[in-house]
């Protein structure tokens, strides 16, 4: 009987994950209301989902808004870029399908292929922003690179999103309470394995541009190290000044 009320019991751990995903989904929905904040909200959702997939302790609200604030500017920029590009592709595909002729059919097929590559990159771009420190350009390039290199995992993650959406709308509508939080959480089990390929224990580089996959934690550690070094230098200078006066 005591096992039933043990919080380390697999059942209660599972229920705890479900509760976390529900909260995560609600945070994503609320933070997406201004529309322009969809990028930062999605990035924060993947940041928390990756932590949940790694069984890392932490507060959902604290971690969500920490990432939301930290990646706000880049999240907004990437969100606008991906939305604009996606809208352009959808409009062009619709336009090509309205036109007749063999050439138009070939153009529509080419555009469809480009849209698939865009969907591949879209699957990775916000998780990469949540995990690594890079410029907007490098983040988008890395998203395309990872999506192609790990194409099997990419297809599975897209299938997860499609299945969750289909089940929610056509089979079990109450699943909407888990919504995008569930999609991000399930995809994170694949993303964490993929990201591990790019997190290598090595000596720090002098130029940040050479480290294309620096995590947020590594970046903060580096900044703290620099700050500590500067403080040590100041202390040494004070000692030298005191000795000089002595």
Q: Mean pLDDT, the chain, as a whole number?
A: 83
* pLDDT value for 43: 98
Q: What is the pLDDT of residues 197-242, one digit of tens each?
A: 998 654 444 444 445 566 665 555 555 554 554 445 444 444 343 3
Pick the more confident residue, 66 or 98: 66
| Domain edges within the chain | 10-199, 205-246
Query: Which of 181, 124, 128, 186 has the alpha carbon at shortest distance from 160?
Result: 186
Residue with tokens 């900044």: 223
Pick the more confident residue, 157 or 220: 157
- For every residue of 172-192, DSSP letters joined together read -GGGGGTHHHHHHHHHHHHHH
**Burial class of residue 53 in the structure, from the number of CB atoms within 10 Å of its CB (0-12 exposed, 13-18 middle, 19+ buried):** buried
Residue 159 has pLDDT above 90, yes or no: yes
* pLDDT value for 105: 74
* pLDDT value for 211: 52
Q: What is the pLDDT of residues 70-128, one digit of tens each?
A: 999 999 999 999 999 999 988 887 777 777 666 777 777 888 889 999 999 999 999 99
pTM across the whole model: 0.80
């Amino acid at each position: 009987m005591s096992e039933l009320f043990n919080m380390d019991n697999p059942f209660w751990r599972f229920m705890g994950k479900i509760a976390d995903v529900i909260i995560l989904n609600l945070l994503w929905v609320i933070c997406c209301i201004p529309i322009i904040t969809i990028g930062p909200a999605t990035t924060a959702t993947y940041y928390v989902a990756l932590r949940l997939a790694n069984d890392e302790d932490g507060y959902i609200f604290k971690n969500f808004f920490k990432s939301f604030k930290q990646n706000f500017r880049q999240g907004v920029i990437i969100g606008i870029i991906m939305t604009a590009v996606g809208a352009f592709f959808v409009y062009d595909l619709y336009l090509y399908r309205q036109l007749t002729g063999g050439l138009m059919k070939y153009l529509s097929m080419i555009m469809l292929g480009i849209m698939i590559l865009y969907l591949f990159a879209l699957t990775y771009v916000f998780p990469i922003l949540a995990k690594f420190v890079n410029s907007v350009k490098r983040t988008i390039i890395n998203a395309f690179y990872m999506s192609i290199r790990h194409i099997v995992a990419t297809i599975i993650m897209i299938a997860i999103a499609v299945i969750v959406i289909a089940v929610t709308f056509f089979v079990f509508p109450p699943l909407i309470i888990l919504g995008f939080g569930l999609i991000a959480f399930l995809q994170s089990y694949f993303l964490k394995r993929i990201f591990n390929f790019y997190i290598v224990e090595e000596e720090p580089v002098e130029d940040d541009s050479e480290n294309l996959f620096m995590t947020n934690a590594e970046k903060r550690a580096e900044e703290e190290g620099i700050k500590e070094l500067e403080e040590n230098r100041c202390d040494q200078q004070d000692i030298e000044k005191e000795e000089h006066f002595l």
